[in-house]
C-alpha cells in the first residue's frame, strides 16, 4: 500500500482544480464516474475528494449553489491519471454528478483525510461493505499486496450490481435475490468461524458499521471503519463533521474518515 501505518495520508495540492470527465458507467442504480486528474497525486485507499460539477451546480433562479459533495475514491490506478468515483442519485447534488458526461468539467479538492493502513502482521484482511459504501474497498483491494476476502451487502438484486466493482466478492442481500439472504454480518461470522485471525476493513451505512464495531469489540479483533458524515469543507474549517470517540471529539475530514474501531464507543 502507498500509505504507512504511521501516516496514511497523501496530501492534496492547495485549492480546487478542474478534472475532465472521461466516462460514466451504470452498475444497477450506481454510476461510476471516471475523470482525468493529471495535476493530482495518487490517493491512498480510504481517502476522499470534495466534488462539484463545473456547470449547473445549483444557483439557478431562486436557487443557492450546492455545497461540494464528499466521495471516497473508488479506484486510482498507479501509472494513470484516472480517478473513479461511485455515485448514487440520492438528491439534487448527486443527481447532477450522475448526469455528467465525457468532456464535462468536474471540480475537485483532494485527496483528503486519513485512509486505511495495511493489516497487522499475520492477520488476513476481511473487506466488508454495504451499498455505495463499498467504494473505498475497491481501491483498498487494488492496493493490498495480499489476497483479501470481500464481503458485500445490498438491499436487493438491483443494488447488488455494484458487487461487480470488486474481485471475487461474497454477497448478501436483504431480499435474498443474490447470494446469502440476510446481513453481511452473517458472512463475517462465517469467515471468522473458519479463521478468526483477521482484521476487518469496513465501510457502509451506520447500522452496519455499528454491527462491525461491536463484533470487533466482542471478539477482540482489530477493525478499521470508514465513517460517513456531512462534510461542508473537507479540510477542517467548518466543524460540520465532528464525531465523538473515546479520545474526545474528532473532525472526521482530518482525523478520519477511517478510524480504528476500538476508538469508537458507538457508530451512529
Ligand atoms: Fe469541515 Fe470537516 S468537513 S471540518
- According to the CATH classification, is domain 124-263 in 3.60.15.10? no
Q: Is 231 in the pocket of ligand 1 (CB under 6 A)?
A: yes
The CATH number of domain 17-112, selected from 1.10.1200.10, 3.40.50.300, 3.90.226.10, 2.40.30.10: 2.40.30.10
Q: Is 233 in the pocket of ligand 1 (CB under 6 A)?
A: yes
Percentage of residues in the chain with pLDDT exceeding 90?
84
Q: Is 216 in the pocket of ligand 1 (CB under 6 A)?
A: no
Mutate to test the pocket of ligand 1, among 71, 233, 243, 259 (most ligand atoms within 8 A of CB): 233
DSSP string spanning 6-41?
S---PPPPSS-EEEEEEEEEEETTEEEEEEE-TTSP
List of residues 6+ apart from 246 with CB closer than 8 A: 262, 263, 264, 265
Ligand 1, closest atom to CA 241?
A: 2
**Residue 265 CB-density burial (10 A; 0-12 exposed, 13-18 middle, 19+ buried):** exposed
Residue 6's CB: how many other CB atoms inside 10 A? 7
Residue 85 predicted with pLDDT over 60: yes
Q: Is 249 in the pocket of ligand 1 (CB under 6 A)?
A: no
pLDDT value of residue 7: 67
Q: Is 68 in the pocket of ligand 1 (CB under 6 A)?
A: no
pLDDT value of residue 161: 96
Residue 48 predicted with pLDDT over 70: yes
**What is the rounded average pLDDT of the residues 229-238?**
92
pLDDT value of residue 49: 97
**What is the rounded average pLDDT of the residues 129-150?**
94
**What is the rounded average pLDDT of the residues 216-231?**
94
Residue 1 predicted with pLDDT over 90: no
Residue 63 predicted with pLDDT over 80: no
pLDDT value of residue 6: 59
Q: What's the 257 CA to ligand 1 centre distance in angstroms?
A: 11
pLDDT value of residue 112: 97
Q: What's the 229 CA to ligand 1 centre distance in angstroms?
A: 9
Percentage of residues in the chain with pLDDT exceeding 70?
97
Q: Where are the beta strands (DSSP E) in 60-136?
A: 69-75, 82-88, 105-112, 124-130
Ligand 1, closest atom to CA 239?
A: 4
> Over the chain, what is the mean pLDDT?
93
CATH 3.40.50.80 domain locations along the chain? 124-263
Residue 4 predicted with pLDDT over 60: no
Q: What's the 70 CA to ligand 1 centre distance in angstroms?
A: 10
Q: Residue 46 phi/psi, 5° resolution?
A: 100, -10
Q: Is 238 in the pocket of ligand 1 (CB under 6 A)?
A: yes
- Better-scored residue on pLDDT, 117 or 8: 117
How many angstroms from the chain centroid is the CA of residue 119? 17
CATH 2.40.30.10 domain locations along the chain? 17-112
Q: What's the 45 CA to ligand 1 centre distance in angstroms?
A: 20
Residue 58 predicted with pLDDT over 60: yes
Amino acid at each position: 500500500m502507498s500509505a504507512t501505518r504511521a501516516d496514511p495520508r497523501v496530501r492534496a495540492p492547495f485549492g480546487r482544480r478542474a478534472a475532465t470527465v472521461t466516462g460514466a458507467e451504470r452498475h444497477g442504480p450506481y454510476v461510476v464516474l471516471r475523470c482525468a486528474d493529471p495535476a493530482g497525486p495518487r490517493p491512498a485507499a480510504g481517502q476522499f475528494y470534495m466534488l462539484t460539477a463545473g456547470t449547473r451546480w445549483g444557483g439557478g433562479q431562486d436557487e443557492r449553489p450546492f455545497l461540494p459533495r464528499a466521495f471516497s475514491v473508488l479506484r486510482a490506478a498507479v501509472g494513470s491519471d484516472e480517478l473513479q468515483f461511485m455515485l448514487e442519485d440520492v438528491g439534487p447534488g448527486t443527481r447532477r454528478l450522475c448526469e455528467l458526461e465525457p468532456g464535462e468539467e468536474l471540480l475537485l479538492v483532494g485527496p483528503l483525510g486519513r485512509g486505511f493502513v495495511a493489516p497487522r502482521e499475520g492477520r488476513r484482511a476481511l473487506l466488508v461493505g454495504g451499498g455505495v459504501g463499498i467504494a473505498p474497498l475497491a481501491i483498498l483491494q487494488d492496493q493490498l499486496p495480499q489476497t483479501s476476502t470481500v464481503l458485500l451487502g445490498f438491499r436487493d438484486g438491483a443494488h447488488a450490481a455494484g458487487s461487480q466493482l470488486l474481485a471475487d466478492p461474497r454477497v448478501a442481500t436483504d431480499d435474498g435475490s443474490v447470494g446469502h439472504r440476510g446481513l453481511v454480518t452473517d458472512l463475517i461470522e462465517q469467515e471468522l468461524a473458519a479463521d478468526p485471525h483477521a482484521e476487518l476493513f469496513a465501510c457502509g451505512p451506520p447500522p452496519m458499521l455499528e454491527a462491525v464495531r461491536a463484533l470487533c469489540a466482542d471478539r477482540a479483533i482489530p477493525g478499521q471503519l470508514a465513517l460517513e458524515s456531512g462534510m461542508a469543507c473537507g479540510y477542517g474549517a467548518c466543524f460540520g463533521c465532528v464525531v465523538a470517540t473515546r479520545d474526545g471529539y474528532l473532525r472526521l475530514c482530518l482525523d478520519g474518515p477511517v478510524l480504528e474501531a476500538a476508538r469508537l464507543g458507538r457508530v451512529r
